[in-house]
A and B are shown apart, each in its own frame.
Chain A
């Protein structure tokens, strides 16, 4: 089902043989996982997009991401279905290594060819999620909306730019190579020209995590390790508990296997941060900058222990508010999958960099809303400014190629429309 290619082997084979490296790469990779010195993040794959849930959620985050959020001009449920089907067909082509056709030279080429004729394995994932506005009166879907899906409110430290906030349909494209994500975006947009128009978009990047769980090598643009205490995506029990909507939840049946997705564009004032004393930075975050160790310990993997008075870890420290590790707060764990962004600079000459925050949770109330509520007023706020984003719901996975995204919703929506 999945061809696994070691990036390192791929390069070696490529240097030696030049040409038919894919086969050689595959052969090499079959032995690679057994060798402890082989970095697992150098393995790239064609990732399956058929299953109980969508990829791009528990899939280890690759180097690049694009969040593209569209508004739809679809005027009926059928037109919406057509758009979600068109996306599905394109995603299957893009994630299976299917060569694009050359086409008739008298016509525009069917593919932009920015990555050549045949997509190679690149850990590409495309994840689709729906905004609250899809459940307004346009498509008759209101009765079937995920119970906790709302428009993202403006939190106290937010300065939301309407042009970068909300939207009908979010597409998250993740890949190891930046150009692969852009290729996919252009193909997806080509397939949906008649019904989807961009509302906002943000590209992100990160260094791969070569450690974990309980550790990370990935750092954010504040220079701190980010994701040390994130949920262990290899632990199915944990993920089912905190990420996927279950049949036990008070939610429409079609949402089971889906997840609430929050995406926020959070600018970091990096110049200001960089001229803040190290000790202050560490007190604000609650961890050591270099090692990632909690202030209460000396090793990154240690569980932070929070002193009551805040002498060691300040009461307003980021990690303390985000996850107080008190009885009951375990219910508020979320799966974070953010990327860094760098958009040039603003009029004051300061860099426009920050965090393209993404998180997934089974319940908005238990997850993001509780965590954000605790973070309101945190010491870090002086250095960060959320400027956009939205709340979305990523429907469960597709059960067959060509099946529209959110097929379950479209089915029940069609039923109620007929009634």
Chain B
């Protein structure tokens, strides 16, 4: 069994260009909503994750103390299926969202923003393996030297600006229809890229860790969706995505480190508990509504979860000694 290879050592690194990606066979993963809805469904009601549910039933295995290659393969195989489901949804919802913008329907487009983004928030970390697509689809204005005026500011957040800050789809600053066309093209590209990406075991462990790591930076401060203030929806998507990835390796983790598995499960529950307070029927209250005490809880919950998730790859023996 050779589960440990050099690539595992770098799996926490997201990369920004293909040169490095070749140099570091990175692996990351995503997370997915296992209860994925079909591609054209209405914005789904939030599905509260039941903490610990899926890690309470370890798979039967001949060896109860080590992780087998077959188990890892099953996990990555399942993830492949989840990912493909998400990609179908991403493509379909993006098209509907873009159509609303092209039709000049500001109100409908606004109501679809989070719904269209949801699959993206769950495949985000795999998508980061393709930096050009990631930047095109999800960069924020402050990622660009000229901010909103920067020609490279395109994608979801540029459309967020169009819908909430500019307030008109064919406004003088940004052309919504043109941005929608571009988003369709970029999403098609990333879907093709992600359909062909090979899923490594480390994607499941480090993907979950990196997802929460990222969330702990911009998404617990209201800095992600600065025009729509829908940061909690993005955070929730990232958390559920990370959780789904974790759930796939949890049966293996329970065998080698049950305490760590419990800790992670508790940490997810803590995070969910805060998020649940701000859920409404099918979305979240704006980030402004989050009290100082709850912002602090979001910070400690994501930081604690990050600490635990950082240990999973090692616990499963997926990291080589340098």
A residues sitting closer than 8 Å to B (CB atoms) are 154, 156-157, 159-160, 269, 271-272, 275-280, 282-284, 295, 310-311, 314-316, 347-350, 376-379, 381-382
- B303→A284 contact, CB < 8 A: no
Give the residues in chain A near B45, CB-CB below 8 Å.
Answer: none
Give the residues in chain B near A283, CB-CB below 8 Å.
Answer: 6, 9-10, 322
Closest to A378 in B: B20
Q: Which chain B residues (1-20) contact chain A, with CB distance < 8 Å?
A: 6, 9-10, 12-17, 19-20
- A314→B23 contact, CB < 8 A: yes
Decide yes or no whether B185 CB sits under 8 A from chain A: no
Give the residues in chain B near A269, CB-CB below 8 Å.
Answer: 217
- A279→B221 contact, CB < 8 A: no
- A275→B23 contact, CB < 8 A: no
Q: Supply 8 further A-B pairs (C-beta < 8 A) apart from A316-B20, A349-B303.
A: A272-B12, A280-B12, A282-B322, A284-B13, A316-B23, A316-B24, A348-B299, A377-B19
| Contacts A/B (CB < 8 Å), 20 sampled | A157-B16, A271-B303, A271-B306, A272-B12, A272-B213, A275-B310, A276-B12, A276-B310, A279-B9, A279-B320, A295-B322, A314-B23, A348-B299, A350-B217, A376-B17, A377-B16, A379-B13, A379-B23, A381-B16, A382-B15
Give the residues in chain A near B314, CB-CB below 8 Å.
Answer: 277
Q: Which chain B residues (279-302) contact chain A, with CB distance < 8 Å?
A: 296, 299-300
Give the residues in chain A near B16, CB-CB below 8 Å.
Answer: 156-157, 377, 381
CA distance A95 to B164 in the complex (A): 57
Decide yes or no whether B137 CB sits under 8 A from chain A: no
- A280→B319 contact, CB < 8 A: yes
Closest to B318 in A: A277
Decide yes or no whether B91 CB sits under 8 A from chain A: no
Most buried by A among B143, B218, B303: B303
Most buried by B among A156, A157, A280: A280
Shortest distance in angstroms between A151's beta carbon and chain B's nearest beta carbon?
Answer: 12
Give the residues in chain A near B213, CB-CB below 8 Å.
Answer: 272
- B9→A280 contact, CB < 8 A: yes
Which of B20, B303, B306, B322 contacts A280, CB < 8 Å? B322
CA distance A277 to B19 in the complex (A): 23
Give the residues in chain B near A282, CB-CB below 8 Å.
Answer: 322
Shortest distance in angstroms between B126's beta carbon and chain A's nearest beta carbon?
Answer: 16
Give the residues in chain A near B86, CB-CB below 8 Å.
Answer: none
Decide yes or no whether B63 CB sits under 8 A from chain A: no
**Contact flag A379-B10 (CB < 8 Å), given A283-B322, A348-B299:** yes
Give the residues in chain B near A311, CB-CB below 8 Å.
Answer: 6
- B322→A382 contact, CB < 8 A: no
CA distance A63 to B227 in the complex (A): 44
- A314→B12 contact, CB < 8 A: no
CB-CB contacts of B300-322 with A at 8 A, as 1s and 0s? 10010011001001100001111
Closest to A153 in B: B145
Decide yes or no whether B216 CB sits under 8 A from chain A: yes
Decide yes or no whether B220 CB sits under 8 A from chain A: yes
- A377→B10 contact, CB < 8 A: no
Shortest distance in angstroms between B319's beta carbon and chain A's nearest beta carbon?
Answer: 5
Which of A160, A310, A382 contacts B13, CB < 8 Å? A382
Give the residues in chain B near A271, CB-CB below 8 Å.
Answer: 303, 306
Which of A154, A295, A377 contacts B20, CB < 8 Å? A377
Decide yes or no whether B102 CB sits under 8 A from chain A: no
CA distance A318 to B308 in the complex (A): 27
Most buried by A among B13, B221, B313: B13
Decide yes or no whether B257 CB sits under 8 A from chain A: no
Decide yes or no whether B223 CB sits under 8 A from chain A: yes
- A348→B221 contact, CB < 8 A: yes
Closest to B22 in A: A315
CA distance A379 to B320 in the complex (A): 17
CA distance A97 to B299 in the complex (A): 49
CA distance A350 to B213 in the complex (A): 11
- A279→B12 contact, CB < 8 A: no
CA distance A310 to B10 in the complex (A): 13
CA distance A377 to B132 in the complex (A): 13
CA distance A130 to B299 in the complex (A): 42
Shortest distance in angstroms between B312's beta carbon and chain A's nearest beta carbon?
Answer: 11
- A379→B217 contact, CB < 8 A: no
Give the residues in chain B near A348, CB-CB below 8 Å.
Answer: 216-218, 220-221, 223, 299
- A279→B220 contact, CB < 8 A: no
Decide yes or no whether B193 CB sits under 8 A from chain A: no
Which of A159, A378, A382 contacts B12, CB < 8 Å? A382
The 9 A-B residue pairs with the shortest CB-CB distance, nearest first, are: A275-B310, A279-B322, A349-B299, A315-B23, A377-B20, A316-B23, A347-B221, A382-B13, A282-B322
Decide yes or no whether B38 CB sits under 8 A from chain A: no
Decide yes or no whether B42 CB sits under 8 A from chain A: no
Q: Which chain B residues (115-130) contact chain A, with CB distance < 8 Å?
A: none
CA distance A322 to B319 in the complex (A): 26
Decide yes or no whether B142 CB sits under 8 A from chain A: yes
Give the residues in chain A near B303, CB-CB below 8 Å.
Answer: 271, 349
Shortest distance in angstroms between B246's beta carbon and chain A's nearest beta carbon?
Answer: 16
CA distance A61 to B74 in the complex (A): 55
Shortest distance in angstroms between B127's beta carbon and chain A's nearest beta carbon?
Answer: 15
Give the residues in chain B near A381, CB-CB below 8 Å.
Answer: 16
Closest to A312 in B: B322
CA distance A310 to B6 in the complex (A): 10
CA distance A279 to B13 in the complex (A): 13
Shortest distance in angstroms between B189's beta carbon and chain A's nearest beta carbon?
Answer: 20
CA distance A404 to B15 in the complex (A): 47
- A275→B307 contact, CB < 8 A: yes
Give the residues in chain A near B307, CB-CB below 8 Å.
Answer: 275
Closest to A162 in B: B145
CA distance A377 to B303 in the complex (A): 26
